[in-house]
Structure 1
Amino acid sequence: MKLPLPRGPVSEAVTAALVQAPHDFADPGEPDSPDDLHLALFVLYELHYRGWDGVDDRWEWQPGLIGLRSRLEELFEADLRSFEVPSPVDDVPHALVKMTQETGGPSLSGYIRGRATWEQFREFATHRSVYHLREADPHTFAIPRLGGAAKAALIEVQIDEYGGGVTHRMHQELFKDTLRALDLDTTYGAYVDVVPAATLANNNLMSLFGLHRRWRGALLGHLAAYEMTSTGPNRHYGNGLRRLGGDEVATRFYDEHVEADAVHEQIAAFDMCGSFAAAEPELAGDVLFGARCVLSMEDRWAEYVLGRWAAGESSLRMALA
């Protein structure tokens, strides 16, 4: 993946350093915008995934970069703490069910099902490509940090995400078929430059929880909320793409999620999060915090996208080819 264009002083300092050999990194100061903050974080987090073209892998644990990342994470966490989170409860699975059944945010999936244009669907897929081309990877970080029933349940979900070990059935690969049908680039990270801060923030949330052992409970809550709110929206996305002329191959990614996530939501809420909360009750609140964060940030992102479309504007920073 090519390093993206900077969006402010912090992301500029980070990208400028990474094209050089590892060296002492001087703190560049404060980000000047959400775009600068979240692009810098995204670039730093990607060092723990597949890395960047031409960037020395030794940068991954360079102390100056880790120090900067920690400071940027504090800014991000301060934003997350603004979300209202239920008090810890004894019955975490049913608390998750209640949270994920609440409505009130804008229905992006409903809009896409019945009203989105071909170009708007292409934009939607462009936003989602940043995650879907590495789908399941952030949550896999939790596996070695768990034990017992919670670990087994997470692995059961992840096995499906990775296609049961069959390459062409991996959800990452299925999404490439959707991108091809939309005449979009299937390269990993191809659209980082064109997506806004709200999209990068949703991806950074997973990495924040995934890369810190202390947030293992929040990562499970994040995954559970994803799985528990997936079936209906993915049905809408698939039907919306069919309305626009998408064939069986183009919609397979969404259709697969309708079927798989109907099972995953029970496993994630009860077997995974329920077992985890029982084994580590002091972290039950973190599970609910992770769920609230993803639900609130997805609402924030959907509101942004729908607002741009309602104004007759693109939801991306740059026009698609």
Structure 2
Amino acid sequence: MQSISIELPRIDSEGKNQYLQENTAPSDNYDIAEKQFVQLLAVENLDKQLNINPDIATYFEFALATALTAAYDGAEDYQAHRFLQRILYRINRLYLFWYDDLQNYENERSLYLQRVRNSIETAWQKWELAQIDVESLQKLDVKQALIDRVAYDLNPEISEGSRYIREEMSVEGYKHLLAIGSFDGLVEGSRLSRILGGTANPIQCTLVKVLLEEYGNGRFNRKHSTYFAAMLSEFDMNTEPEGYFDLVPWEVLACANHNFLTTERKRYYLRYSGALTYFEVAGPSAYRNYLTAAQRLNLSDAAMGYWELHIREDERHGQWMLDDVALPLAELYPNNAWELLLGYDQEKLMGDRAAEAVVKSIRQAETPVRAG
């Protein structure tokens, strides 16, 4: 059988970018390019159309090449990071089903989208890994290192940002926190579901237990996302998933995209398991900050119920993840067990970075209120 090869337009470019508008702010150029990308997602049979007319993606491709250099070759430009993580998320979200128009999934297997995703992930992951001393992780006693990390992260020192949330954040700041948090809170646990298929064993069963509790054991009114929606409703806020997408800092998007990467590639199973261990262990300390703030502000029970639920359940989940997932995996894969630590440490590093970005965003949102 004769194979059919679709020649896709190149993503990389060299020389001066003649397509981006020289007198336009970089953020505006990226916004224009993102809008073009959204239009590309809706093109019927995108790969075929690009083969016929590659010019329909020209503006986007030059913006992509510009952003990759600006974000990862030393400058670390904020707008470039934001653009790249938003584009990557728009591709990754197609792994999930949103109960929307089925035509929105027309290009979910597109080779062009795969190439865009790979070009971003390759540069981004190299940049992320450069911030971790991987060689030192490979020399550690993995099981003891996991136990020590968990012992510390159960009750970490209160950071400046956490203290601000606890003691100073206003009601408007709390609403801003909910808006950003809804990005994950309304689709909670969805990425975990991507690693549950396959051979049955006690490790898999523990992960299923975690997912079932996140999903309210199949009862919609008990699903954790339902509790988050209730908090939003208390303030007459938007309860639609991704309703506040434009408020989400790139650092938060990076956490989501990193989880997509490590759940969709089974080779990264240990990294994701280590990351989930940290996430479940560290969650209660963060939620206590939010709960303390809500109580100080005299908010209703419904306006803080999600935090109370998570504190109770994630304390249990963290212990499950250490005892019944991470440590058994370290025994099962002794030569690769250090990847559990890599996942754990990366999740912590990226989570701390995201938390700082959220606090910064809250402060900025509160400034007009406090000034008034």
* TM-score bracket, shorter-length normalisation: 0.7 to 0.9
CA distance in 1, matches of 2:151, 2:161: 21
The structure with more radius of gyration: 2
1:309 deviation in Å?
5.0
1:11 deviation in Å?
3.1
1:185 partner amino acid: N
Given that 1:129 and 1:191 are in contact with CA atoms closer than 8 Å, whether structure 2 keeps it comes out as: yes
Given that 1:87 and 1:285 are in contact with CA atoms closer than 8 Å, whether structure 2 keeps it comes out as: yes
Moved more, 273-282 or 20-29: 20-29
2:248 partner amino acid: V
Given that 1:11 and 1:37 are in contact with CA atoms closer than 8 Å, whether structure 2 keeps it comes out as: no
1:154 deviation in Å?
0.8
1:204 deviation in Å?
1.2
1:212-227 aligned within 5 A? 212-227=265-280
2:96 is aligned to: 49
1:143-158 aligned within 5 A? 143-144=196-197, 147-158=200-211
Q: Aligned in 2, Cα 1:293/1:118: closer, same or farther, shift over 3 Å? A: same
CA distance in 1, matches of 2:94, 2:226: 22
Q: 1 or 2 for the larger relative contact order (CA 8 Å, sep ≥6)?
A: 1
Select which of 65, 75, 91 maps to 1:30.
65
Given that 2:176 and 2:362 are in contact with CA atoms closer than 8 Å, whether structure 1 keeps it comes out as: no
In the superposition, the TM-score normalised over structure 1's length comes to: 0.87
1:22 partner amino acid: N
Select which of 233, 237, 251 maps to 1:180.
233
1:44 partner amino acid: I
Select which of 277, 290, 312 maps to 1:259.
312
Q: Aligned in 2, Cα 1:130/1:146: closer, same or farther, shift over 3 Å? A: farther
CA distance in 2, matches of 1:82, 1:102: 28
Deviating 4+ runs (over 6 angstroms): none
Does 2:249 align with 1:201?
A: no
CA distance in 1, matches of 2:121, 2:155: 28
- SS of 1:40 mapped into structure 2: helix
CA-to-aligned-CA distance 1:211-254 (integer Å, 9 cap, x gap): 11111111111111111011222122122112223211221110
CA distance in 2, matches of 1:158, 1:301: 23
CA distance in 1, matches of 2:228, 2:286: 16
Q: Aligned in 2, Cα 1:290/1:315: closer, same or farther, shift over 3 Å? A: farther
Given that 1:19 and 1:54 are in contact with CA atoms closer than 8 Å, whether structure 2 keeps it comes out as: no
CA distance in 2, matches of 1:161, 1:6: 39
1:74 deviation in Å?
0.9
1:308 deviation in Å?
4.8
2:178 is aligned to: 125
CA distance in 2, matches of 1:105, 1:299: 12
2:95 partner amino acid: H
Given that 1:140 and 1:158 are in contact with CA atoms closer than 8 Å, whether structure 2 keeps it comes out as: yes
Q: In percent, how many aligned pairs have the same letter? A: 21
Q: Aligned in 2, Cα 1:229/1:12: closer, same or farther, shift over 3 Å? A: same
Unaligned runs of 5+ in 1: 317-321
2:40 is aligned to: 17
Given that 1:145 and 1:213 are in contact with CA atoms closer than 8 Å, whether structure 2 keeps it comes out as: no
- SS of 2:169 mapped into structure 1: coil
Does 2:161 align with 1:111?
A: no
- SS of 2:132 mapped into structure 1: coil
Given that 2:146 and 2:341 are in contact with CA atoms closer than 8 Å, whether structure 1 keeps it comes out as: no
2:17 is aligned to: none
CA-to-aligned-CA distance 1:142-167 (integer Å, 9 cap, x gap): 11256422111111111111111111
Q: Aligned residue pairs: how many? A: 310
CA-to-aligned-CA distance 1:133-184 (integer Å, 9 cap, x gap): 1111111211125642211111111111111111111111110011111331
CA distance in 1, matches of 2:158, 2:295: 25
CA distance in 1, matches of 2:347, 2:122: 17
Unaligned runs of 5+ in 2: 1-27, 68-79, 368-372
CA distance in 2, matches of 1:186, 1:158: 22
Q: Aligned in 2, Cα 1:21/1:315: closer, same or farther, shift over 3 Å? A: farther
1:307 deviation in Å?
3.7
Given that 1:222 and 1:290 are in contact with CA atoms closer than 8 Å, whether structure 2 keeps it comes out as: yes
- SS of 2:65 mapped into structure 1: coil
Does 2:302 align with 1:249?
A: yes
1:256 deviation in Å?
0.5
Does 2:189 align with 1:136?
A: yes
Does 2:159 align with 1:159?
A: no
1:31 deviation in Å?
5.1
